[in-house]
Structure 1
C-alpha cells in the first residue's frame, strides 16, 4: 500500500485485537480471517503477519505460517516471535536444519527460553538421526532389526508388570524361523471377553496391560497387516445386511472411539470398520486406541481394517506425542514395534469397485492410476515426494488442477483432478480424512470427494462434530448430512466426556503446535 489512512490503521488494529480474542478461544480459523482483514487494511505491520502465522501453525498449515513469518521478519527483523514461529513451521515441514537456525536466533535474543530450547533439542535429535542413517547407508531408522518379526517373548518374563498384573490373561505362542530363532508371536486365545475386560478393567481404570502382552499384540497384528495388499479391496454388494463403516482421524481420543462402537455398533461378522489413518498422536490415549484396534484386528481380521495416515510415521510420532506416550506407559521398544507395524499398514482401500478410500489425497502425477497405487512398496517410512507420500498428505482445494499445499507437504488438487481420476479408474467417489470439518463430514468437488473426520472436539478445542460413513448398498439416506448417494448413510456425533488429561499430556516435545 502506498498510503494508509489513519482510519484504516485504526480499523486494522481493531481487527488484530479481535483476532487475538479468537486465539484465546482457540478458534484459529476465525482468528486467521480477522488478521487477514487487518493485513488487507495495513500490510506494513509485522505483528499482523506473525499473529496470523500462529493461527496457521495451530491449524497445521505450515507453509502458510512460514510465509507469514518470513513477511513479518522482512518488516521487522527483531520480531522474535516470528523467528520462533517460523522455526516451528520448519519443524512441521520436517526441515529441521532450517528450524534450528531460527530457534538459535530466538535463543540468542532470549537465552533460556524453555520452549525454544526444547524445540531446538528435538531438531538436533532429528538431525543426528538423519546423519546416522546416511552414515550406515539406510533410510530405515530401525536399522536391520525388525522387532515385530523377531520378537522374543522370553525377554519380557522378568518384567515386574507381568507379575503384578491381575487383569485378563492371554495365551501367547512364540514363533520361530527355520533356524529356530525367535520370529514374533501370535495370540491363541483372544476373545471378545478379553477385549471387553482390557477396556473396562484396565484402560478405563488408568492402567496398562503388561509389556509382554502389548508386544505380542503388535507382533500378531503386524503379521496380519503384512499379508494385506497395499490397496485393500472390500465389498458388501452381495451381502445387503452387511455394513462397512468408514471412520476418519481419531487421534488418540479413546473415549470417542469407544463411543463410536457404542453408538454405531461393534465390529462383528456383518459389520466391518475401516479406520482411515491418524488413530495416534495428539490425543493422550493413543496407546489405548492402537492396542484396542490391533486386538480387534486379531479377533476379527476380515472385519476391521486400518489405513495408514500421515501420523502413522516416525517424524509425526516424535513431534506430536505418540512416541513419548509409548515410552511413558510402556517402553521405547514398544514404540519401535508400533512404528514398524505402521509400515505394514495398507495405504488405501477400494470398496465395491466404487469408492477409493485413503487418508490424504490423490497423486500429483495425472498418469498415475489405481493399478499404479496398488504396486507401491509401502514397507518403509513415507518418502518426501511421490504418490506414496501424497496419499497420506495431500488436500483438496476449490480451484482446478494442482496448487501448492498449505501444509507444505503433498499438494492441493482441484475438482477436475478428482473427476478425471474417478473417470479413468471407473470409480464413483473418493473418501478421505486428514482435515477437520466442523460438521464432521463435507461433500466436496461437486460431491465426488468426501472428507470424513471422526475426532469430535478435536484436541479439546475445536468444537467440531465427528462423523462416520456407512456403506449400505440400497439402504442409504439421501440429503442426510449433505449425502447425495443412495448407498450411503452419513452420521455425525458429539464428543463425550473424558478424564481431565490434556492432549499431548505425555509429550516432551514442547513445540506448541
Structure 2
C-alpha cells in the first residue's frame, strides 16, 4: 500500500465535489473533460482509489489502454484490496492482447468479489483465449498444416436454385453483382458463401502481388476520396457513397484501415470494399489498420461476427488476406497515407516502407516499424513520447517535418483516432487525421469526415474536407461478447 498523504477534511471534501463533477461529465460522454476533473481530484487527494479507477474507465473509453493500466496500478497501490483497480488494469491488458496478465487480474477480482459475475465471465473468456492460443502455437510448428486459403475450392460449392441473389459468373465481379450485394446487405441478408469466398480469395491473390507502399496517381480532372476508420458501421459507410458518389473508373477511394471490429456489420463493409477492388483495381485502395490483425479481431468482434454469419474457416481466410494488405500509400508523390503514423526512428525512408516484407512478418506485433505504422499517434509537443495506448509511440511536429523533408513529400494523412469533428489538422498543416465512423460505437457523438483530393492540373492538387453525421441503423447485438464497448 502506498504511503498515505495527509489531507485535511476541507481539501478531501473539495476533491470529492470535483469527482462528482467528473462523474457527470463521464455520464455525458465528455471523457477528456472528465479526465481533467478526476486529475484535479487526485491532485487534491491522492489517497482515494476510486478516483484512479474512474479515470482509468475514461481512458478505456478513449482507447488509451496504456494510461488505463497505469491508473489501475495506482488504484491498487492506494488500496491493494480494491477490486475495481484490478478490474480496470485487467481490461486494459486484455485490450492490448496481454491475455495471461489480464487473466491474473480478473482472478484477483473474482477472489475479492466472488459474486461479480461480469469479472468471472471475463476471466473465463481470457482462459479460453489463452488455451486456444497455446493450441494454435502448437500446431503452427507442424509444417504440414495447410493454410485455410488452400483448403477451399469454390468450384465445388453448389449454389442452390433457391438462392435469389446476383451471381458471379466465371469469377468476374460486376457492377450489377455489387449493387445487388449492397441491396442484400442493407436488408440484412447474406450473399452465398461461394461468392464471399471468391471475393476474398481473389483479393488475397491481388494484394499479394502489391508492394507494402502503393503509389496512387490521380488523373487530371478526377478525384480521390480518402476515408478513415469505418469500424463495421455499414450504414454510415454507405452514407459516404450516398453523399459523395460510389467508386467508379473516374472516382477512386482510399479507405485507410480499420474497416472491421467494434460495429456489427464489419463483414458487409469488408466484402463491399473487396468487391469494389476487384471491379475497379485503380478505383479502390485499402490500407491495413491495427484492427486488420488477429489480436484485435479476437477482442473487438470481427472473428465472432464472421463465425456467426459464415464459419471459422472464412475468418481464417480473412486473417490470411489481411496480412497481404498494403501498409501505406503515396498519393500524387506528395501525400503519405498510413493508418497510424511515423516511426521511432529518424532515418525511415519511403523506399524502406515500400520494401517491408509484410506477408512474411504476418502480424505486426507490438514493436518495430510495421507496428508503428499501424499504431503511432501525433502529439502537439516536439519529440517522441510513450503512447497513451500502450503500443507504438506519439510523434511531434518536428518528427513530421523531418520525415516530410527527408522523403520530399508535403504531408501525411492518417486515421486511427476518433476526432469530434471527424478530422483534425496538426503539425503546421503537415499531419491530418481523418476518421469516418460518426457517433463511434453508438456512444461518442462525433462527426465523420472524408477528404476529397482533387487534381486540378498536372502535378497539383487541393484538399476538400467534408463532414457528415451518423444515420440510423438496425440495432444488432454486438459480436464482441463481454468486451464490447469497454
Q: Does the 8 A contact of 1:86 with 1:99 survive in 2?
A: yes
Quote how far apart the aligned CAs of 1:265 are: 1.4
State the partner residue of 2:276: 296
SS, match of residue 491 in structure 1: strand
> Out of 445, 468, 487, which is 2:450 matched to?
468
Q: Does the 8 A contact of 1:437 with 1:464 survive in 2?
A: yes
State the partner residue of 1:506: 479
What is the rounded CA distance, in whole Å, between the counterparts of 1:210 and 1:457 in structure 2?
Answer: 31
> Out of 45, 48, 57, which is 2:60 matched to?
57
* 1:207 maps onto 2:160 in alignment: no
> Out of 428, 437, 460, which is 1:446 matched to?
428
SS, match of residue 148 in structure 1: helix
Quote how far apart the aligned CAs of 1:322 are: 0.6
* 1:305 maps onto 2:285 in alignment: yes
What is the rounded CA distance, in whole Å, between the counterparts of 2:322 and 2:461 in structure 1?
Answer: 34
The number of residue pairs the alignment matches comes to 479
Quote how far apart the aligned CAs of 1:79 are: 1.1
Q: Deviations over 1:295-315 (max 9, x none)?
A: 111111111011000000011
Quote how far apart the aligned CAs of 1:240 are: 2.1
State the partner residue of 2:323: 343
State the partner residue of 1:422: 404
Q: Deviations over 1:449-485 (max 9, x none)?
A: 000000011111111111111111348xxxxxxxxx9
What is the rounded CA distance, in whole Å, between the counterparts of 2:150 and 2:206 in structure 1?
Answer: 12
What is the rounded CA distance, in whole Å, between the counterparts of 1:388 and 1:132 in structure 2?
Answer: 26
**Structure 2, unpaired ranges of 5+:** none
Q: Does the 8 A contact of 2:454 with 2:463 survive in 1?
A: yes
> Out of 13, 16, 24, which is 2:16 matched to?
13
State the partner residue of 2:375: 393
**Structure 1, unpaired ranges of 5+:** 173-186, 476-484
Q: Does the 8 A contact of 1:119 with 1:511 survive in 2?
A: no
What is the rounded CA distance, in whole Å, between the counterparts of 2:166 and 2:261 in structure 1?
Answer: 27
* 1:192 maps onto 2:175 in alignment: yes
> Out of 150, 157, 163, which is 1:165 matched to?
163
Q: Deviations over 1:233-264 (max 9, x none)?
A: 0112xx22110111000000101111101111
* 1:77 maps onto 2:80 in alignment: yes
Q: Deviations over 1:206-253 (max 9, x none)?
A: 1111112111111111112112211010112xx221101110000001
What is the rounded CA distance, in whole Å, between the counterparts of 1:486 and 1:154 in structure 2?
Answer: 45
SS, match of residue 100 in structure 2: helix
> Out of 225, 244, 247, which is 2:207 matched to?
225
State the partner residue of 1:179: none
What is the rounded CA distance, in whole Å, between the counterparts of 1:328 and 1:298 in structure 2?
Answer: 25
Quote how far apart the aligned CAs of 1:155 are: 5.1
What is the rounded CA distance, in whole Å, between the counterparts of 1:340 and 1:204 in structure 2?
Answer: 27
Q: Does the 8 A contact of 1:401 with 1:413 survive in 2?
A: yes
Quote how far apart the aligned CAs of 1:148 are: 3.0
SS, match of residue 417 in structure 1: helix
What is the rounded CA distance, in whole Å, between the counterparts of 2:190 and 2:83 in structure 1?
Answer: 42
Q: Deviations over 1:81-128 (max 9, x none)?
A: 111111111112222221111011011123353322332233223323
What is the RMSD of the two structures over their aligned residues, measured on CA atoms?
A: 2.1
State the partner residue of 1:334: 314
Q: Does the 8 A contact of 2:262 with 2:485 survive in 1?
A: no
What is the rounded CA distance, in whole Å, between the counterparts of 1:497 and 1:94 in structure 2?
Answer: 32
State the partner residue of 1:30: 33
Q: Deviations over 1:26-49 (max 9, x none)?
A: 332222222112112211111100
* 1:263 maps onto 2:243 in alignment: yes
